[in-house]
Amino acid sequence: MERTIAWSKYDDGMLGACMDFAEDYKAFLSTCKTERECVDFFVEEAEKNGCIELSRAIEEKRQLKPGDQVYSVWMNKSMVLFRIGETPFEEGINILGAHIDSPRLDVKQNPLYEEGGMAYLDTHYYGGIKKYQYVTIPLAIHGVIVKKSGETVVVCVGEDEDDPVFFISDLLIHLAQDQMQKKASVVVEGEALDLIIGSRPLKIEGGDKEAKDEKSVKDAVSKAVMEILQREYGIEEKDFESAELEIVPAGKARDAGFDRSMVLGYGQDDRVCAYPSFRAQLETKDIKRTSCTLLVDKEEIGSVGATGMRSRFFENALAEVMNLCGQYSELALRRTLANSCMLSSDVSSTYDPAYASAFEKKNTAFLGKGMVFNKFTGSRGKSGSNDANAEYIAHLRDIFDKAGISVQTAELGKVDVGGGGTIAYILALYGMNVIDSGVPVLSMHSPWEATSKCDLFEAFRGYKAFLEGADLRNA
């Protein structure tokens, strides 16, 4: 069974819409490199489009009606949006769920040290990365530092043309004979991923020569860096204890290829699904069932913690929305969840001819052939996966065929080669129908990932069709 190239069906109008959508996506991808930055962007856009904050609606005791939009943010890292539909909640809602965290390096709580005349920040990698990919590339620092007073200092250094960038060193090839014999997993150790942030010592003015020399030698470079941070941000070294600083590749998302058919950028797993899900949520207005889009944190480390999908944040927000619609009870909430339909909007691996042995071509995704459905993920014997029902897949096939969406099916590599997971299995615990659906990504989890613009656009169109038409009860 062959899939057609999605590009082939585009007339000039569709092609222009696809390219325009990609431009907006690139701007988002270039600006939003952390969960907090994504949430800030989504909140601003949601409010421009008439969404109100759930806590405000509760405080004002609003009675929500069909067409109303509300959103809720949890700990500035996860978000859920609702558009109220016409049918009762108990008949189910339609849910898109994507994650907005991406693999990266995190700065430790006691990170600053000096060695060999250079100042460093100690890091701990987050999510699945090939550690050697992070050496000798320009890196930026994004995040927040919260002082004891409660003041939050926003940090973003390395993105503007006039900003400095940061880097992690590597051993010169002339001395790397032993290093080159190591496995790729340990050719660069996790504890070696420390960020170089300065090399000029603090200049000591005045005082006697002996004291001056002693001060100049001991940690003079790290002290000079702290002087800059004090001047620029008003922070002291102990403020690192209450900081969340993420080290990410510096630079904007770019067009790739002479034909500009692809996007190359950091963090496309899973923001390439989060962005079209969010846009579909805002732009899909003709709905019967309530629509919901989840944008969550911590998927890359198991969806744990208060901002991960395993928390009760979504369930609690849904209960509050149902209450404002006059439809809440514990039983009604359970029925709503069980009768819902969901697309777990997460990326899939793309066939890469350079590493063809890892893929089974009949059951893998290809760039340019549209959005991808993974009936199951997990690893080896489908371990740890959600396995979607045939009835649900048939219902979705009907929806997407009628809407003219280019769709392909895939598995994550050959059997026994590896595997992966998404948030699908967590929502499936409620008894709802869930399937993984997203965009194929080339070089997934690398500092720079590649996607096809037409796959991105087909995902957006597909998510809209799903929100408008999914209702397995009436299929």
**pLDDT exceeds cutoff 80 at 378:** no
CB 273 within 8 A of CB 438: yes
In this predicted structure, what is the pLDDT of residue 412? 83
Return all residues near 192 (Cβ < 8 A) that are at least 6 apart. Answer: 131, 168
Secondary structure of residue 252 in the 3-state scheme: coil
* Cβ-proximal residues to 183 (8 Å cutoff; 6+ apart), any chain: none
Q: Rounded CA gap, 343 and 435, in Å?
A: 5
Strand partners, 196: 120, 167
Whether pLDDT at 212 is above 60: no
Percentage of residues of the chain with pLDDT beyond 70: 97
Tell me whether residue 327 is exposed, middle or buried, using C-beta atoms within 10 angstroms of its C-beta: 0 to 12, 13 to 18, 19 or more: middle
Q: Report the C-alpha gap between 298 and 306 in whole angstroms.
A: 9
In whole angstroms, what is the distance from residue 400 CA to residue 448 CA?
30
Across residues 141-157, what is the average pLDDT? 96
pTM for this prediction: 0.94
Give, as one character, the DSSP assignment of residue 461: H
Residue the block writes with tokens 């500009």: 260
- Residue 74 makes CB contacts below 8 A (sequence gap 6+) with 306, 307, 311, 313
User: Which uninterrupted H or E stretch holds 109?
Assistant: strand 104-115
> In whole angstroms, what is the distance from residue 125 CA to residue 248 CA?
11
Residue-range domains of the chain with CATH: 6-102+266-474 (3.40.630.10), 104-249 (2.30.250.10)
In order, the DSSP letters of 11-56 are -HHHHHHHHHHHHHHHHHHHH--SHHHHHHHHHHHHHHTT-EEHHH
Outline where 325-389 has alpha helix (H).
330-338
AA letter at 185:
S
Distance CA 398, CA 224 (A): 64
β-partners of residue 450 are 264, 442
Residue 100: CB atoms within 10 A of its CB come to 30
Q: What is the mean pLDDT of residues 197-216?
A: 67
Tell me what pLDDT residue 216 has: 55
Q: Quick check: 352 pLDDT over 60?
A: yes
User: What is the predicted pLDDT for the residue at 323?
Assistant: 98
More confident residue, 375 or 131: 131
- Specify whether the CB–CB gap between 471 and 302 falls below 8 A: no
Tell me what pLDDT residue 204 has: 63
Helix (H, G, I), strand (E, B) or coil at 396: helix
- At 325, list the tokens: 């619609």
Containing 255, the helix (H) or strand (E) segment is strand 254-256
Question: Within 13 A of 270's CA, how many CA atoms are on the CB side?
Answer: 29
CA 230, 234, 239, 240 dihedral sign is negative
CB within 8 A of 103, min separation 6: which ones? 125, 126, 127, 128, 129, 269, 300, 445
How many CB atoms neighbour CB 323 within 10 A? 15
The answer to whether the beta carbons of residues 447 and 370 sit under 8 Å apart is no
DSSP code at position 195? E
Q: In what order do the strands lie in the sheet with 118-126?
A: 152-157, 139-146, 243-249, 104-115, 118-126, 195-198
Question: In this model, does residue 131 exceed pLDDT 60?
Answer: yes
Q: In the predicted model, what is the mean pLDDT of residues 102-114?
A: 97
3-state secondary structure of 133: helix
Contact in structure between 71 and 54 (CB atoms under 8 Å) = yes
The predicted-structure confidence for 261-304, as pLDDT tens digits, reads as follows 999 999 999 899 999 999 999 999 989 999 999 999 999 999 99
Q: pLDDT category, 40, cuts 50, 70, 90?
A: very high
Q: Which residues contact 201 (CB under 8 A, 6 or more apart)?
A: 117, 216, 220, 221, 223, 224
Checking if the pLDDT of 72 tops 70, the result is yes
pLDDT exceeds 70 at position 215: no
Residue located via tokens 């929100």: 467
Give residue-wise pLDDT tens across range 380-428: 788 778 888 999 999 999 999 999 999 999 988 888 787 777 889 999 9
